[in-house]
């Protein structure tokens, strides 16, 4: 019997995942849940004030910019803005993301560009974003489109490059008014000035990328609407540590070889975990558990372990952070980086750093904002084998269980 290729198994698994995602969307409670309830009312505000500065000043109860409302008010001309229809729009944005990822990755890998782009389905956070009417989906699409147009502008030296750079900048600006962390694309793009004879195109990209955010942020006199500026003040270093931990977990699913470092570093990380656990129990008293809602829904943690397990995971975060820092240093200094690689990696790190300003609350889905850049960066190194298939199954299962538990909890208690 002919052996089935790993790539064939992955394609079949991803097709099944997409069908399951559609099933979840169609069977989910037809009511707005969680963050959806914060953003939908502002669609009515946009309908009241139109595309005006008055609308920007009257946005209430949301930190992200107005892109969400701009997208869905247009969608509303064609279909009713029911929870199901709005979630379907985000699903189609996901399909668009996969296509753009494939196109961007194609220049890095000789084959399997589509397969690698489909790995986004095995990231648990993807399910929470694509199965709900969340704000991230349109933002990811415009961010990836801006990358594609920027890269196209750098390929050749003619009048079309100016057009691609300008359009790429407008798409980047559109992404920024969707989620402000994408501002970090702009300082990261300065790295591209080291590419010979391309400074004019990069300057045009940066100029046009600041047009939309300039209008929005000047009107707000800040990066968030006036209504929430006091809530979003201050810094939360703990959120950055959480972001790194979740980033590491996702990387273990997609590309565990990233953590291929000397054994001594893992011994040090174990010592850090033990020391921080003792300090946590004795002094800090920090309690945290990833996907806590899922564990509560399934009720699978024995009562005898419930106290200690909430102390252990914050300690593990410190070990993750050390391993991540060493691994990142190894990749930066490996000597095979192009300016485009450095741009992607710098953007990844800077967007992750913005989580320290998520002072209102932290959500694991924020990691995907930086990971879409990282996935392109590591695409050439990802190994297609049976172990990747297994890891994809684990990541996808976590994603399915997580979003299902969210719908179950909100349907039962809200």
- Say yes or no to pLDDT of 1 above 50: no
Angle, in degrees to the nearest 10, between helices 6-27 and 83-105: 160
pLDDT band at 23 (very low <50, low <70, confident <90, very high): very high
Q: Which residues does 60 contact at the CB level (< 8 Å), separation at least 6?
A: 41, 42, 45, 225, 227
Beta carbons within 10 angstroms of residue 69's beta carbon: 24
Average pLDDT rounded to a whole number, residues 21-40:
87
Query: What pLDDT digit, counting tens, does each position of 189-236 carry?
Result: 999 999 888 899 999 999 999 999 999 999 998 888 888 777 766 677
pLDDT band at 371 (very low <50, low <70, confident <90, very high): very high
Query: What pLDDT digit, counting tens, does each position of 349-364 carry?
Result: 999 998 887 656 778 8
Q: Which residues does 285 contact at the CB level (< 8 Å), separation at least 6?
A: none
- Percentage of the chain exceeding pLDDT 90: 54
212-220 CB contacts, 8 Å cutoff, 24+ apart: 212/170, 212/173, 212/174, 212/176, 212/177, 213/173, 213/176, 213/177, 213/180, 213/183, 215/53, 216/56, 216/65, 216/66, 216/177, 219/53, 219/56, 219/57, 220/56, 220/57
Say which residue, 104 or 310, is predicted with more confidence: 104
Query: What pLDDT digit, counting tens, does each position of 126-143 carry?
Result: 998 999 888 889 999 999
Contact 297, 405 (CB under 8 A): yes
- Say yes or no to pLDDT of 262 above 80: yes
What residue spans of 177-286 are helical by DSSP H? 185-189, 199-209, 211-220, 237-254, 263-279
Predicted pLDDT at 151: 94
Q: Which two tokens stand for residue 99?
A: 């296509």
């Amino acid at each position: 019997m002919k052996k089935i290729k790993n790539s064939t198994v992955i394609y079949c698994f991803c097709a099944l995942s997409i069908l399951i995602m559609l099933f979840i969307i169609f069977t989910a409670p037809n009511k707005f849940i969680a963050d959806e309830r914060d953003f939908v009312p502002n669609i009515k505000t946009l309908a009241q004030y139109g595309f005006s500065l008055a609308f920007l000043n009257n946005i209430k109860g949301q930190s992200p910019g107005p892109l969400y409302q701009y997208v869905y008010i247009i969608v509303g001309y064609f279909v009713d803005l029911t929870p199901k229809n709005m979630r379907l729009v985000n699903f189609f944005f996901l399909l668009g993301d996969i296509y753009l990822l494939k196109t961007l990755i194609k220049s890095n890998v000789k084959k399997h560009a589509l397969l690698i782009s489909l790995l986004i389905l095995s990231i648990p956070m993807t399910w929470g974003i694509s199965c709900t009417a969340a704000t991230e989906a349109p933002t990811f699409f415009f961010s990836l489109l801006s990358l594609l147009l920027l890269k196209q502008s750098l390929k050749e030296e003619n009048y079309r490059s100016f057009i691609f750079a300008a359009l790429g900048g407008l798409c980047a600006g559109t992404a920024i008014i969707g989620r402000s962390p994408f501002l970090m694309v702009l300082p990261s793009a300065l790295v591209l000035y080291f590419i010979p004879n391309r400074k004019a195109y990069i300057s045009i990209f940066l100029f046009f990328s600041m047009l939309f955010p300039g209008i929005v942020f000047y009107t707000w006199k800040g990066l968030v609407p006036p209504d929430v500026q006091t809530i979003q003040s201050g810094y939360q270093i703990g959120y950055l540590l959480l972001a790194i931990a979740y980033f590491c977990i996702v990387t273990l699913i997609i590309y565990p070889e990233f953590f291929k470092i000397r054994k001594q570093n893992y011994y040090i990380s174990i010592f850090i975990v033990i020391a921080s656990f003792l300090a946590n129990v004795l002094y800090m008293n920090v309690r945290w558990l990833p996907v806590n809602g899922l564990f509560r829904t399934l009720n699978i943690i024995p009562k005898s372990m419930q106290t200690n397990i909430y102390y252990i995971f914050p300690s593990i975060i410190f070990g993750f952070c050390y391993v991540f820092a060493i691994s990142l240093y190894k990749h930066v200094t490996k000597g095979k980086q192009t300016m485009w690689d450095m741009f992607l990696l710098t953007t990844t790190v800077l967007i992750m750093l913005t989580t320290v300003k998520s002072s209102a609350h932290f959500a694991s889905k924020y990691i995907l904002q930086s990971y879409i850049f990282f996935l392109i960066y590591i695409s050439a190194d990802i190994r297609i084998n049976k172990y990747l298939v297994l890891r994809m199954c684990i990541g996808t299962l976590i994603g399915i269980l997580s979003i299902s538990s969210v719908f179950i909890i909100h349907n039962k208690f809200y």
